[in-house]
Amino acid sequence: MRIVFAGTPDFAVPCLRAAAARGEVVAVYTQPDRPAGRGRGLAPTPVKQAAQELGIEVRQPENFRGKEAKAALRELEPDLMVVVAYGLILPQSVLDIPTHGCWNVHASLLPRWRGAAPIQRAIQAGDAETGVCLMQMEKGLDTGPVLLRQSLAIGEHETGGQLHDRLSELGAQVLADGLGLLRAGIRPAPQPQPEDGVTYAHKLDKAEAKLDWSRPARELTNTVRAFTPWPVAECRLAGERLRLHGAVAIDESHGAVPGTLLHAGRNGLDVACGEGVLRIRVLQRDGGKVITAADYLNARQDLKVAG
Q: Which residues pair with 250 in a beta bridge?
A: 277
Note the pLDDT of residue 175. Answer: 97
- Out of 11-20, 29-38, 200-209, the most confident range is 11-20
Across 98-115, average pLDDT: 97
Is 283 known as a binding-site position? no
Q: Are 278 and 263 in contact (CB under 8 A)?
A: no
Architecture of domain 3-201: 3-Layer(aba) Sandwich (3.40)
Which residue has better confidence, 34 or 222? 222
Which of the 8 DSSP states describes residue 113? T
What is the rounded distance in angstroms from the CA atom of residue 172 to the CA atom of residue 43? 25
Confidence category of residue 38, pLDDT binned at 50, 70, 90: confident
Query: Is it the case that residue 274 has pLDDT exceeding 90?
Result: yes
Domain boundaries, the chain: 3-201, 206-303
Is 46 known as a binding-site position? no
Note the pLDDT of residue 304. Answer: 65
Residues contacting residue 242 through CB under 8 Å, at least 6 positions apart: 234, 235, 236, 280, 283, 284, 285
Query: How high is the mean pLDDT of the chain?
Result: 95
Is 109 known as a binding-site position? yes
CATH of domain 206-303: 3.10.25.10
Q: Which residues pair with 243 in a beta bridge?
A: 234, 284
Query: Is it the case that residue 305 has pLDDT exceeding 70?
Result: no
Is 108 known as a binding-site position? yes
Confidence category of residue 303, pLDDT binned at 50, 70, 90: confident
Which uninterrupted H or E stretch holds 286? none
User: Global pTM?
Assistant: 0.93
pLDDT digits (tens, 9 = 90+) for 111-145: 999 999 999 999 999 999 999 999 999 988 999 99
Confidence category of residue 74, pLDDT binned at 50, 70, 90: very high
Note the pLDDT of residue 271. Answer: 97
